[in-house]
Structure 1
Amino acid sequence: MTLTGQSLIAGQWLGNSDNGEFKAFSPAHNVPLETNFFNISVNELELSINEAENAFLAYRKTTFEQRALFLDCIAEQIIVLGDELLTLTQQETNLPLARLQGERMRTVNQLKAFAQVLRESPDSPMGLKVIDEADNSRQPLPKPRTELNYLPLGPVAVFGASNFPYAFSTLGGDTAAALAAGCPVIVKNHDAHPGTGELMARAALAAIKICAMPLGVFAMVQSKSYNISHVLVAAPAIKAVGFTGSLSVANALKATMVKRYEAIPFYAELGSINPQIILPNKAREQGARIAQTLCQSMLMGNGQFCTSPGLWLVPTGCKGFEEEVADWIGNSLSDTLLTPSIIKSFKYATSQRSNMDQVSLLAKGKLEHDFHANAHVFACSVDTYLATLALHDEVFGPAALIVRYENEQQLLLIIDKLEGQLTASLHGTQDDLDSAQCLTEMLQYKVGRLITNQMPTGVEVCGSMNHGGPFPSSTNVRSTSVGTHAMLRFLRPICYQS
């Protein structure tokens, strides 16, 4: 299937070289790929916004069953893309084929999960309707009948992620949740995998036509121009923004959104170091095994998961732990990261840590090519960690920091200084966990998901999942970007009184 390099707007493929063009990049070969992708013009972007606003008038009136059929159809059309989708995405990301196959099915199942939620509660999202009946006999005044229900917000802007080309991108969780809520979507595709975004947009367009949905209900825009993103979030017709990416880009978009006359929600999932706390008895009994699983978790996707474990709190003198880490990491092979800029940032961050006083490089993996990233694990004391703010930052890629603690009081000091996190894990025996109530109580106020004796990588798509957390892990502590409750971000309450 030949790529157009264009943007999908109101059912049409638009774009040419007038506004500049860019190419996808092959991480595996460290060279640009062949296809040219065209930067969308401001006029074309404004057309997509206007079409989304017009589509909202019709789409918000669709029944829950019609939306469910639409979401199911999108899922089916993703499967229809076949191996061509996987092949192209692998070229653009160098992510392993098995990983992409799994992520594709996760994306399909996300869409189907929202469809199922709509069918289970056909007159109210998530069954949230609340009715208080009238009481005409109440004194001194009669009580009116009131009914609480929910309405879709309007057109939503979604920014695709670099590290999840399916599940957090063009037809990922934000898009599925907004469409389920009754909101048209304009996706700003990530320039790390533009061809993947185009194929996914073709799946959406096929479903739009099959289900007779308004053409403006979904748009996918291609651009490497930062200005386009700011024009999109500033547009008065946009009523919410879903974003997955870096804190610096999120802050720039927030600065633009603050200037809007109408304030709108900005649902951004940013980053996290996902602390792993190994408690004393567990460390003594299973130190080497935990070291293995931590290394495996950190090396998944070469460290490019938002839930990658980046901070390991380990009791001093944990027998076999550091030796096992050094062995695992020392024998690990380097691999690519998603973009040259991510590689550059990773190498800068690891170089900075290598030159810090009181921070030791415990182990690093074999570097096969200069354009690869090899795993790094550093170590320091509690005092050094608390005194060095740069050690609290996320290093996106295969890197972790071991902090050696002496007692629970030191653990509490570290937890107190942590910024908001997506996840944290406690690894302990039952006796450890019973003795760590103060730690658990404090830790839950720092995270969006608290895990016991499991690794943080892997996020289950279900009704009880929360993928978010206190700032700066996300910008809204009351919402999740994974699971069926994500739909609530794109709804607003309304009360009917009679």
Structure 2
Amino acid sequence: MSTITGASLFGSQTLTGEGAAYTATAPARNESLPESFFNISPAQAEQVVQLASAAFGPYSQLHPHRRAEFLEAIADEIEALGDVLPERAHAESGLPMARLTGERGRTCGQLRMFARLVREGSWVDARINPALPDRQPLPRPDLRRMLVPLGPVVVFGASNFPLAFSVAGGDTASALAAGCPVIVKAHPAHPGTSELVGRAIQAAALKTEMPDGTFALVHADNAVAQALVGHPVVKAVGFTGSRAGGLALLRVAQARPEPIPVYAEMSSVNPTVILAGAMQERGTAIAEGLAGSITLGVGQFCTNPGLVFVTQTDKLNEFLGTLGAKIRATVPATMLNAGICDHYRTGLDTLSRSAEVEVLAESETDARSEATEGRPAVLTTTGAAFRSNPALSHEVFGPSSLVVVCQDEAEVAACLQTMEGQLTATLFAADSDLQTSAYNWVALLQQKAGRVLFGGYPTGVEVCEAMTHGGPFPATSDARTTSVGTAAIERFARPVTYQSFPNALLPLALQQENPLGIWREIDGVRGKE
């Protein structure tokens, strides 16, 4: 299973692509890795889609415990790869082994989390209104409602999480849990890692006897990838990546004769607000923690705190001094690939050249010009400049942040009002701030973000039932959803009401005797009766 062939996978089969070949690059050395990967042709893409279409009916009708067994088997097979998987991911991404080992644990953990969710079963939101034949003036028919799977789903892996947001990541896990076959487009930055995980899923599907075509992994160029999104068999898309990439897929999906949802996580600068009382009480400690959050993972987290709003206080210089010292002491590190590194350097250079922006601090160690290293930096600007120049709120993906120094809370609030949607927003406030502030900061921040933090740092996303990893556009294409946590399953399902059905023809979740033993709502009352 650990052999990398460069082929695509669909069902129990392998497929050597008829399109152009490409190689992966080791960013730490900026050198190509030896294996070649072969993009599939449009005709081969049609084969993959048709097999997924054939699998949808049988897979969606499986007993939910069978789907749970499949998800658990995927986790087992990924773990059985041993060190081969993180070693390959390290070679292709430059991410440290410790980080990748943790990410593998997160990947397997979320697969097992969805297995538990599917076994428990209440996620289908079963609602029953029994018939009232004697009701006047009109009788009520028997009505039973639940969520059912959408159909085949196309998933695009993320460059910054080669395991947890990739082939077996949250989009794939939640779609499979919902009962949808999945076609994953391998990310060109880590195709070998993708194949290893894809083969683990393929092995798990065979062991648990899943319908052939329940899973596919394909290498594809942009044209074929967009053709997959446009194919009438495909019913939804999961994407994590750039704003340009997400919007391109959204346009394709919306231009179809039957438009479909694209659940795209795109860009976020994750504003942090530090009010005067918090600055007075613990500004130095906040600066130290903030520096660590800015540079964590070379700043390549979608929750990186790229904007910090502060007010003019007598503790501001001490805060900036501590933050600058921490940034200067942080050495550059390898970024995920040359393209991301180039974009970071260009974005940082553009920002630093702005007349309204000053460089507060950069790493005292130069980034190696021959390597894909990102140099940490913190810059400052004024609230007035921020409000007059929308470009200052744009994401610079990497280990940097812009501190916006405002005259007072009113200017902070005005700056926040001009911003687009975000994944996270953070508030540092002391009791004195909350007692005297004229602003409802919680109400303001929740308008802008899907996760609002108090007194913490946004990097690090807990995989659990209560997590929201999403937010208003352009953080995501649909602010009503999350890509992390059990609620992610709802993206790949739709409601159906069954009226006056014989009990034997109803889905198990709606049958009178409740054979699955799940929580259901009957005439507005939840129970397991």
Quickly name the TM-score band, shorter chain normalised.
over 0.9
> Residue 44 of structure 2 corresponds to which residue in structure 1?
44
Task: Judge conservation of contact 2:111–2:173 (CA < 8 Å) in 1.
Answer: yes
Residue 261 of structure 1: aligned partner: 257
Partner residue, 1:484: 486
Shift, 1:434, TM fit: 4.2
Find the aligned partners of 1:323 and 1:164 in 2 and give their Cα distance.
Answer: 33
SS across alignment from 2:374: coil
Q: Which residue of 2 aligns with 1:367?
A: 366
Partner of 2:402: 401
Tell me how far apart the structure 2 counterparts of residues 46 and 414 of structure 1 sit (CA, whole Å): 49
1:423 matched to which residue of 2? 424
| 1:227 match | 223
Q: Counterparts of 2:434 and 2:141 in 1: how far apart (Å)?
A: 51
Deviations 1:220-249 (A, max 9, x none): 0013x2101111100000000000011111
- What aligned pairs does 1:144-183 form with structure 2 within 5 A after superposition? 144-183=141-180
Secondary structure at the aligned position of 1:306 is classed as: coil
CA-to-aligned-CA distance 1:86-138 (integer Å, 9 cap, x gap): 110000001011111111010001000011011112xxx51510111222222
Looking at structure 2, the residues matched to 168 and 434 of structure 1 have their Cα atoms a distance apart, in angstroms, of: 41
> What is residue 337 of structure 1 aligned with on the other side?
335
Map 1:313-462; keep pairs closer than 5 Å.
313-317=309-313, 318-365=316-363, 366-370=365-369, 371=371, 372-436=373-437, 437-462=439-464
Match of residue 190 from structure 1: 187
Partners of 1:353 and 1:209 in 2: how far apart? 52
Partner of 1:197, secondary structure, is helix
Distance 1:47 1:61 in 2: 23
Of residues 235, 238, 241, the one that matches 1:239 is 235
- Residue in 1 that maps onto 2:125: 128
CA distance in 2, matches of 1:183, 1:196: 23
Deviation, 1:344, is: 1.1
Residue deviations 1:419-470 (CA, integer Å, cap 9, x gap): 0000001011233234445222122111101110110011111111111000
**1:255 shift after superposition:** 2.0
Distance 1:215 1:100 in 2: 31
Residue identity in the other structure for 1:11: S
Whether contact under 8 Å (2:274, 2:428) holds in the other structure is: yes
Hey, what's the Cα distance between the residues in 2 that align with 1:127 and 1:233? 26
Question: Structure 2: which 5+ runs fail to align?
Answer: 501-529
More deviation, 399-408/315-324: 315-324
For 2:212, the equivalent position in structure 1 comes to 215
SS in 2 for 1:135: coil
**Normalised TM-score (structure 2):** 0.92
> Which residue in the other structure is 2:136 paired with?
139
Indicate whether 1:496 and 2:498 are aligned: yes
- Name the residue aligned to 1:61: 61
Which residue of structure 2 aligns with residue 6 of structure 1?
7
The alignment of Structure 1 onto Structure 2 pairs a total of residues equal to 493
Moved more, 344-353 or 436-445: 436-445
Conserved 8 A contact 1:157-1:241: yes
TM-score (norm. length: structure 1): 0.97
> C-alpha deviations, 1:194-230, integer Å up to 9, x for none?
000000011101101110001200000013x210111
Letter in 2 for 1:442: L
Moved more, 407-416 or 193-202: 407-416
Q: Does 1:21 align with 2:21?
A: yes
Q: Is the 8 A contact 2:264 2:478 kept in 1?
A: yes
User: Structure 2 counterpart of 1:115, which letter?
Assistant: A
| Whole-angstrom distance in 2 between the partners of 1:238 and 1:104 | 28
| Conserved? CA contact 2:124–2:148, under 8 Å | no
Q: What are the superposed Cα offsets for residues 374-428 of structure 1, whole Å, 9 maximum, x if unpaired? A: 0111101000111111111000011100001121111110111010000001011
Partner SS for 1:445: helix
| Partner-residue secondary structure (3-state), 1:347 | helix
Aligned Cα root-mean-square deviation (Å) = 1.1
